[in-house]
Amino acid sequence: MDTQWPRFEVFEQEHPAQPHRNAGAVHAPDAELALLNARDVFVRRPDCHSLWVAPARQILARTLEEIEAAEQLATPPPAEGTPAQLYQVFQKQSQRQAQTYVVHVGAVEARSAPEALDLARQRYEGRQVFVWWIVPEASIVRSTPGEAASLFAPARDKPYRQPSFYRVLTQMRAVKSGETGAAPGETEA
Amino acid sequence: MTAAPHPALAAYLLGLADDELILGHRNSEWCGHAPILEEDIAFANLAQDELGHASLWYRLLEGLTGERPDRLVFFREASAYRCVQMVELPKGDWAFSMLRQFLFDAAEAARLGRLAESRYAPAGETAIKIRTEEIYHYRHTQAWIKRLGLGTHESHQRVQAALDVLWPYALQLFAPGPGEAEMTAGGLVPAAEDLQAAWEAAVVAALHESGLTPPADRRPAATDRANHSPHLAPLLEEMQSVARLEGPAVGW
């Protein structure tokens, strides 16, 4: 039996002028806890302005290779009468930055995720895209501006310190190398 | 050092600081042992936040008494600590630790909101600073209590059992200390009975929403912060062992 909780993809916006970027994923029993887990796992120290989470199983993800292979098969049209809905569009635009996966570029209205992908490829062409993500708007849970202070502000005035910051490490090294004599309670071998 | 606006204020601040320190230390025992990785990180964050809050209160206290926070934390005997017994209790199971944190967060939410208006401005400023973070803590723990309370038969039983044990201990958070009534009259600290009323209203509603029932008995497990459970001394022995090995000259 698979006891793992569902996976949610996390999108983080560091500054209002920047797009949301995929930061990674968290497991959570539901969207609210996914948002809280995302806050704790990804925005403890760096600056954050807004967070989105979406269940991974709702996301249509296609690489360039997958799209090229699929073009040999026609996308089946959505069933007659299917209502259009909003999909958010994300792209992986570069192979260089290992930490940046997909970045938000806009939204399209479509009757299915594959149709949204087709539309997105027409609307957001112009540069090489390595991976497309199509995320149904209805599946996204967002942090609200009202809760931004309690979610993100406390991280801002906390210094981020590597363990080496703490002086006791060098002190311990000095103790070990015998520079300051034996540590209290230590006996000569 | 500045003159304290009331001689009992230092003891009050010490109580706040010790509660945060000991709870933060207890919760840090989950580090690497929480039920899932994400919650391990989240709970460790929470524990670290409480230590940060303790540090703010200790520094405020230092301004009044000149006592160095490092000395207070690492070189004080259990009998000189002024934490409530709730934070001393062993971490228990996940439901117990989560519920303790929830009950404490709710008390913090009630206290900090009112302390923000203290006539003693430094306490007000610190309360405002801590409150922002506590809003998140409360949201996090409340979300968990709801899921545990309404989850499976086992999760419900465990969190209800934790509530039966913790409830009288939580009530100690509102037992007024020496001189507290006078400080309240002077606008320095909020009235203990107001805090308890606000806390009970919020907590009982959240517990009922989670299918949980607090015990009817409203007597606190303890009232004097100078009295401790047998769990505090072993906790301090471990927490202070490294600092005491190195001696008081080392800065932390």
Q: What is the pLDDT of residue A44?
A: 67
Q: Could you give the CA distance from residue B171 to residue B218 in angstroms, rounded to a whole number?
A: 8
ipTM of model? 0.86
Q: Which of A40, A43, A175 to mutate to test the interface with B (most CBs of B within 10 A)?
A: A40
Whether residues B38 and A29 touch (CB distance < 8 A) is answered with: no
Q: What is the pLDDT of residue A189?
A: 35
Residue with more model confidence, B35 or A183:
B35
Comparing CB atoms, the residue among A29, A40, A167 nearest residue B41 is A40
Average pLDDT, chain A: 83
Q: Quick check: helix, strand or coil at residue A129?
A: coil
CB of B28 closer than 8 Å to CB of B44: yes
Average pLDDT, chain B: 94
Q: Which two tokens stand for residue B56?
A: 């703010």
Query: Tell me: the pLDDT tens digits for B28-85?
Result: 999 999 999 999 999 999 999 999 999 999 999 999 999 999 999 999 999 999 999 9
Q: Which of B27, B30, B39 to mutate to test the interface with A (most CBs of A within 10 A)?
A: B39
Q: Hey, what amino acid is at A51?
A: L
* Confidence at A180, pLDDT banded by 50, 70, 90: low
How many beta carbons lie within 10 A of that of residue A78, not counting itself?
15
Half-sphere exposure of A107 (CA within 13 A, CB side): 13
Q: What is the pLDDT of residue A127?
A: 76
Q: What is the pLDDT of residue A183?
A: 46
* Confidence at A47, pLDDT banded by 50, 70, 90: confident
A44 contacts in B (CB within 8 Å)?
A: 41, 45
Phi-psi map region of B32: left, alpha, beta (phi>0 left; psi -120 to 50 alpha): left
CB of A27 closer than 8 Å to CB of A4: yes
Its pTM surpasses 0.90: no
- How far from chain centre, in Å, is Cα B144? 18
- What average pLDDT does this structure show over A45-60? 89
B45 contacts in A (CB within 8 Å)?
A: 40, 44
CB of B207 closer than 8 Å to CB of B149: yes
Residue with more model confidence, A1 or A188:
A1
Q: What is the pLDDT of residue A76?
A: 72
